[in-house]
Amino acid sequence: MKKNYKMIISYDGSRYHGWENQPGVEMTIQGKLNQVFSRLAETEVEVIGAGRTDAGVHARGMTANVHLDVPYTEEEILQYANRYLPDDICITELKTASDRFHSRYLATGKTYCYTCYIGDRKPVFQRKYVYIPDGIPDIPRMRQAASHLKGEHDFASFSHNPRMKKSTVREIYDIRIEKKGPMLTFTYHGSGFLQYMVRILTGTLLEVGLGLREPDSIPELLQARNRSLAGFTAPAKGLCLMKVDYQ
């Protein structure tokens, strides 16, 4: 009997063309998962993810689900998948879920973390997972700017797709900007995020921190709904999906 399985997945996105399986593109996270579970089920299956992380973006807590008709326990399925997945993809949890559970449609929020390195030595072992800004950003200025981004807004100015036909309104519940040693982190918790939105938000806040724009310019930027007025798109390598919320 076919069952629906919910998974939590961690992956290093450095060498992948994002989450979404694409025709003619071998290196995607979803594509690798599809291959392994199709081999296990001896039929084509599709793993459904809670969202689509871009090329080079990482995850510690991507949620996904897959329907399988196999005579194995949850632990056996988990062990099989991790045995055949590449070393940079790991399923950390796998449990039977309700037949109606859908990782994308039922998601109520996501948390992303963007990490910058502001130390005075080269981050040799973290270099693939951090962005090094040109200077030391002013944290109070960035927090002031971030306060204007919280709540429900039209984030068209922070969208990579200017021709997007769907609504660009999203709600940001919280933005935390913290320094821990040489690491500067931006943690975003919201209802959902547009393509490149977190990376554009981070680039814009960094520009505020480096004195290239004023904190109180953010409301006008939101109202403009013009991507060209926002900050640069921070590199993908610093971004990680931390958690997906469900009711």
| Residues 44-100: tens digit of each pLDDT | 999 999 999 999 999 999 999 999 999 999 999 999 999 999 999 999 999 999 999
| CATH pick for 109-245 out of 3.40.50.880, 3.30.70.660, 3.40.1050.10, 3.40.30.10 | 3.30.70.660
DSSP-based three-state secondary structure for 215: helix
Which amino acid does the sequence have at 166? K
Integer CA distances (angstroms), 120 to 130, 134, 137, 202, 234, in order: 14, 12, 14, 21, 20
**What percentage of residues in the chain have a pLDDT greater than 90?**
94
Q: Is the pLDDT of residue 162 over 70?
A: no
Residue 54 designated active-site: yes
Task: Give me the catalytic one of 54, 87, 99, 120.
Answer: 54
CA–CA gap between residue 41 and residue 9 (Å, rounded): 19
Q: Is the pLDDT of residue 164 over 70?
A: no
Where in the chain are the domains?
A: 3-97, 109-245
Q: Is the pLDDT of residue 191 over 70?
A: yes
| CATH pick for 3-97 out of 3.30.70.580, 3.30.750.24, 3.60.15.10, 3.40.50.800 | 3.30.70.580
Tokens of 40: 């296990």
CA–CA gap between residue 208 and residue 150 (Å, rounded): 16
pLDDT at 1: 87
Query: What integer is the mean pLDDT of 10-14?
Result: 97
Report how far apart the first and last C-alpha atoms of the chain are (Å, whole number).
Answer: 27
- Evaluate whether 196 touches 51 at the Cβ level (below 8 Å): no
User: Does 3-97 match 109-245 in CATH topology?
Assistant: yes
